[in-house]
Amino acid sequence: MKDFSNAAFSPDQIEAMHQAFERAVATLPDPVSAMRVQTIAESILRNANQGERDIRTLQTMALLEMQLRCGEDV
């Protein structure tokens, strides 16, 4: 996983990231690979760290990035 040791988030931001993560993973068919989970988590952390706060936007960006990084078999 990428290094996010310098990132700091408020409780509200953490809740938004958690919801975005849960919603993104819930859209995927089982079983969900560890690589996809990691890609989604990294995307949400990176985008939240850059200032994005909207749950739906975080979710959408993570899923789009996962498709680009993990290939066509999503």
Dump the DSSP string for 16-51: HHHHHHHHHHHTSPSSPPHHHHHHHHHHHHHHHHTT
pLDDT attached to residue 13 = 95
Grade residue 1 by pLDDT with cuts at 50, 70 and 90: low
Residue 48 lies in a domain: yes
pTM for the complete prediction?
0.86
Give the range of the structural domain holding residue 33, as residue numbers without chain letter.
11-70
DSSP 8-state assignment for residue 72: S
| Total structural domains within the chain | 1
Residue 3 lies in a domain: no
Grade residue 42 by pLDDT with cuts at 50, 70 and 90: very high
Q: Is the pLDDT of residue 45 over 80?
A: yes
Residue 17 lies in a domain: yes
Residue 55 lies in a domain: yes
> Which residue would you say has higher pLDDT here, 30 or 3?
30
Residue 2 lies in a domain: no
Q: How far apart are CA 74 and CA 54, in angstroms?
A: 24
Q: How far from each other are the two terminal CA atoms of the chain, in whole angstroms?
A: 20
Residue 20 lies in a domain: yes
Residue 23 lies in a domain: yes
Q: How far is CA 5 from the centre of its chain?
A: 17
φ/ψ (deg, to 5) at 5: -65, -25
